[in-house]
Amino acid sequence: MAQEAPGEDQRAAGFQALVDADHRLEPRDWLPDRYRSMVLRQIAQHAHSEVIGMQPEGNWITRAPSLRRKAILLAKVQDEAGHGLYLYAAAETLGVAREELVARLHDGRQKYSSIFNYPTRTWADVGAIGWLVDGAAITNQLALTRTSYGPYARAMVRICREESFHQRQGFELLWALARGTEAQRRMAQDAVDRWWWPTLMMFGPPDARSPHTAQSMAWRIKRVSNDELRQRFVDMAVPQAAALGLTLPDPELRWNADRGHHDFGPIDWEEFQRVVGGDGPCNAERLRVHRAAHDDGAWVRAAAAAFAAKHRDPVAVPA
């Protein structure tokens, strides 16, 4: 007797059992549509963030104040382009091409981390991004090395190694400024003042108000909640700020011995919603630059495709 194909419910139960057993899911496995779309949304947002993040930091490559710092920053921005590539490749395992993901970024269906909607006004901002923003990213990404979707988890392992390097470089940049001239010290403090709160917002809304958290945790896409990751980050950053000799701009920040964690003041979630919604200082500029580069490059991609077709070049240049 022919065996009946498993029904949707059976497949879903089998899938959940694999997740619960901490099995790494691969593109060939049966995956619920909603799982696919949640993972795709997260990987694509992460890829877009790496690529858009090249803009605020790239803003200082041409003006870096020493050749050594220029080389470090250039290598860092290059790493981000590389992370964007791994992540787009991970997203493509879910059957959506990079060209389509870029189109979704441009028409607003997909987003990038809102942190990159803030401007890099001074050289110290490069240090603050490295120390705080990359520090927050690592906190989040270390948890994601255990995410249930295999291609994403593997990309995270590789990316975390490079990000921890970037964080140390950012810290060291601020360390030099904090021990430099009065103007340099002021520059460092001003950057930390401006980046601290937006960095705490990077972990997303509080768990109680996070729309995707419950399902995402159940499917082990997300392994640790927003609030817990935020707390881990604060606990890590406080002693580092003290070592730098810089102040974190929160009068309520203090050690709570009962909890074994630092307490911190309220986050301005209205600002977060406003910036996510498009009304941040650089939202329009970041997308304009990305669209312009994409549009200006259209003739180059067309030429590569035409050449490949003429010469049967096995390696066509992707869009």
Residues written for the chain? 319
Separation CA 140–CA 224 (nearest Å): 8
CB atoms under 10 Å from CB of 87, counted, come to 27
Cβ proximity to other proteins: between 58 and 150 the closer is: 58
Q: Binders of other proteins: how many residues, by CB under 8 A?
A: 53
How far is Cα 284 from Cα 300, in angstroms, rounded to an integer?
Answer: 25
- Minimal distance in Å, beta carbon 92 to other proteins? 13
Interface with other proteins (CB under 8 A), residue from 25, 54, 128, 244: 54
Is residue 319 a contact residue for other proteins (CB under 8 A)?
yes
CB of 157 to other proteins, least distance (A): 20
Q: Which stretch binds other proteins (CB under 8 A): 139-147, 178-186, 219-227, 267-275?
A: 178-186
293 binds other proteins (CB under 8 A): yes
Contact set for other proteins, span 113-172 (CB under 8 A): 123
Does residue 104 belong to the site contacting other proteins (CB under 8 A)? no
In the complex, least distance from residue 299 CB atom to other proteins, rounded to whole angstroms = 5
Dist CA 310 CA 302 (whole Å)? 12
Give the x/- contact pattern for other proteins in 58-97, rule: CB under 8 A: x--xxxxxxxxxxx--xx-xx--xx-xx--x---------
Beta strands at 261-263 and 254-256: parallel, antiparallel or unpaired = antiparallel
Q: Which of 181, 251, 260, 270 binds other proteins (CB under 8 A)?
A: 181
| Dihedral of alpha carbons 19, 111, 90, 6, sign | positive
Given the complex with other proteins, which of 31 and 87 has the nearer CB atom?
87
CA dist., res. 84 & res. 68, Å (int): 25
The CB-of-290 to other proteins minimum distance in angstroms stands at: 8
180 touches other proteins (CB under 8 A): yes
User: Considering beta carbons, is residue 162 or 207 the nearer one to other proteins?
Assistant: 162
Residues numbered 212 to 251 that lie near other proteins (CB under 8 A) are none
Helix (H) / strand (E) containing 256: strand 254-256
* 103 is a site residue for other proteins (CB under 8 A): no
- C-alpha to C-alpha distances, 49 to 21, 112, 116, 251, nearest whole angstrom: 31, 5, 8, 31
- CB neighbours of residue 153 within 10 Å: 17
Distance separating alpha carbons of residues 273 and 286, to the nearest angstrom: 18
Q: How far apart are CA 45 and CA 43, in angstroms?
A: 5
Tell the smallest beta-carbon distance from residue 294 to other proteins (Å): 8
Q: What is the DSSP string of 164-220?
A: HHHHHHHHHHHHHHHTS-HHHHHHHHHHHHHHHHHHHHTT-S-GGG-TTHHHHHHTT
Positions in the binding site for other proteins (CB under 8 A): 51, 54-55, 58, 61-71, 74-75, 77-78, 81-82, 84-85, 88, 123, 173, 176-177, 180-181, 183-184, 289-290, 292-293, 296-304, 306-308, 310-311, 317-319
